[in-house]
Structure 1
């Protein structure tokens, strides 16, 4: 309906790529930079000013490397709009594209460390998200950085702040929790406190993240196929952390117990949580060179294409040699009048050369696809190494003195789940 509609004579709307509870998200072309961007739109006649809130939060988060880049905002006669950076696939779509729709332990831990940092950055400016889920995190594929060791990294970014709530007052103190706040969030990932109608705090964003972590590892949560919100709540009460963390490294149980023990007003120790997961990562024998699952899959696809091309070339080469050999024998037959088996066209293998069709492999998500404005970032000196690598370096020094035998034992005695 709005395809091709220009905003400020600069952004030309293309196809719709997502829909939220209060607006729609479009892919748009920046007519000046010729880059693609994401445009979130909300009708002016809506009573809830969700896009105004999102606009304000996004602007305040621009110093964070774990959020999308703000580009512009405004309104026309019908809509308010927010123009922002276009990311790669969201975590939900990336997980679905993996074998058995799950991530390996290495990828899950690396993503979790990034997401803890993203949530912390939001909490620092005085807001809680209240809708932490895989669809609200995306990968900045094109805007990459390298650590001091030369390792290329992607950043995991948080977005969609329409349900955010300010938990700090004007003096920077935590507001008292409301007795009746109602349910907020997505039933599958919402904390038990949300089901019980309690006011949500920083702990609840991290409890939702814990459910995400279990889903990324196991493929689904125990209440995955339940639609009724009350039944989901009962399932969450019945499935304790011990059940959900069965066969997983003990750090995951400690992770849940720490968050679950926090009070509404408590400030989580984000650094401790990142360190806890990173220690597990090192114990299992992973290092800074371990790649994300989707990067490995992409390399496998490239190798398969190269292998197919190589086989095709060899096949074509063998066919050409056989045809040349046949013609040569016919010439010898004529010269020496030797009777040879018939080498007519019917007996010569006919080689059909098939051209490989290499189509673009695109990844789509509900709100993000690919990155824009990478040139501007390079001009600004690029982005610093991600939180995971900083912690990894710190903890790795503690383990560097251990012998190779110890590490071998750790690998052999790591978790017995089918994921690893």
Structure 2
């Protein structure tokens, strides 16, 4: 029997004990559920008595497409040394294969109570973080401030550099919901609310490669159905057309995320929102993405609304001649990412140059602040 996450409810306030030096996880409340499982908040108690809040991703062993075991493999790959904190990736505590008290609502017959049983579950225990970029975007309909945005760009591409170069991992599901800010009460400066983390490695892959006489050769075309890999809105046109996701495709998706964080929309929204047929919608979106250039993503003509409206000064303020930050180099960044060959190693020194040049442009200095996330965090905490 295959179960859906919403079909099974975990009994709250129960404890899971694990480890040779026993630790205890108490399940507190359900936060969310998706197609692969549910997310709960919990408390991890160490043998020493130290307690810390954690996130529990719980998946029934009978789900049709189990993902947590796959995600666990990638967290282990990244956290090969458990005591080492990795910037941009949540701390992985433990992967458990446990029996947990569950119950299934008896929706068909109200004469019987909910029957509690011990079910077999996979449990991934992770560091608790804050809100994801979807929540930030909703709070800032007019876009986040430039100083915060350019810092966000630097952090996102730094995470991708680490995954590609150090761990040889491709994420394959880059979207705003998978970039999460640090916990608002975190005291570690490297993991605070102004730091960005990439989560959800359930669709990730390592580089598929083998040696031939010409060196490393990558298998470009996929045998699997790529229509189910990733999120269409942020997927590159290459993946939509059937290519196996690779480094360039993650980077293109990062550019789409950054574009959406500017003013809450993507350039193709108006063109495809009226299309009802899914196949036609998919074809139209793929074609639009094929035509896109950097100027279409990060460019703005005089007839368009400003990007960073939150940075526009009130009438009478003397902020200089420019009302908007100059982000022309980000157009070059997108064109560079899109121009990469399928198996080409990205030049992150070049990418960092585009971002730093944008940040330190003379005309952009006035938009920079000592604490670029201050405005955003004040609004998020209200």
TM-score over 0.5 for the alignment?
yes
Instruction: Name the TM-score, length of structure 1 as normaliser.
Output: 0.64
Specify the alignment match of 1:233 in structure 2.
Answer: 286
Q: How many Å apart are 1:126 and its aligned residue? A: 2.0
Residue 243 of structure 2 aligns with which residue? Answer: 198
- 1:42 match: secondary structure: strand
- Unpaired runs of at least 5, structure 2: 1-8, 19-23, 100-119, 301-325
Q: CA deviation at 1:249?
A: 2.0
Aligned residues: 296
CA deviation map 1:219-245 (0-9, x unaligned): 211234637433322332354432222
Alignment of 1:377-388 (within 5 A): none
Matched, 1:267 2:345: yes
Is residue 14–residue 28 contact of structure 1 (8 Å, CA) maintained in 2? yes
Tell me if 1:211 matches 2:256: yes
Residue matched to 2:220: 177
Please say if residues 293 and 331 of structure 2, whose CA atoms lie closer than 8 Å, have aligned partners that are also in contact.
no
Distance in 2, Cα, partners of 1:140 & 1:58: 18
Q: 1:296 aligns with which of 375, 378, 381?
A: 375
Greater strand share, 1 or 2? 2
**In the alignment, does 2:24 pair up with 1:7?**
no
2:172 to 112, 127, 130: 130
Partner of 2:72: 55
For residue 70 of structure 1, the aligned residue among 89, 92, 101 is 92
- Aligned pairs for 1:216-365 within 5 A: 216-224=261-269, 226=273, 228-247=281-300, 249-283=327-361, 284-285=364-365, 289-293=369-373, 295-299=374-378, 361=381
- Aligned-partner Cα distance in 2 for 1:272–1:287: 24
Counterpart position of 1:322: none
Secondary structure of the residue aligned to 1:8 is: strand
CA distance in 1, matches of 2:219, 2:377: 49
Judge conservation of contact 1:202–1:267 (CA < 8 Å) in 2. Answer: yes
Q: Does 1:154 align with 2:163?
A: no
Cα deviation code 1:360-400 (max 9, x no counterpart):
x58xxxxxxxxxxxxxxxxxxxxxxxxxxxxxxxxxxxxxx
Structure 2 match to 1:165: 205
Counterparts in 2 of 1:263 and 1:289: CA distance versus 1, 3 Å: same
| 2:122 equivalent to 1:80 | yes
Q: TM-score w.r.t. structure 2 length?
A: 0.70
What corresponds to 1:41 in structure 2?
Answer: 58
CA deviation vs aligned residue, 1:273-308 (integer Å, no higher than 9, x gap): 122111111101168853334x2255589xxxxxxx
| Root-mean-square deviation (Å) | 2.7
Aligned with 1:115: secondary structure?
Answer: helix
- Distance, in Å, in 1 between the alignment partners of 2:171 and 2:351 is 18
3-state SS, counterpart of residue 265 of structure 1: coil
Q: Does 1:91 align with 2:133?
A: yes
What residue ranges of structure 1 are gaps of 5+ in the alignment?
Answer: 147-151, 302-360, 363-420
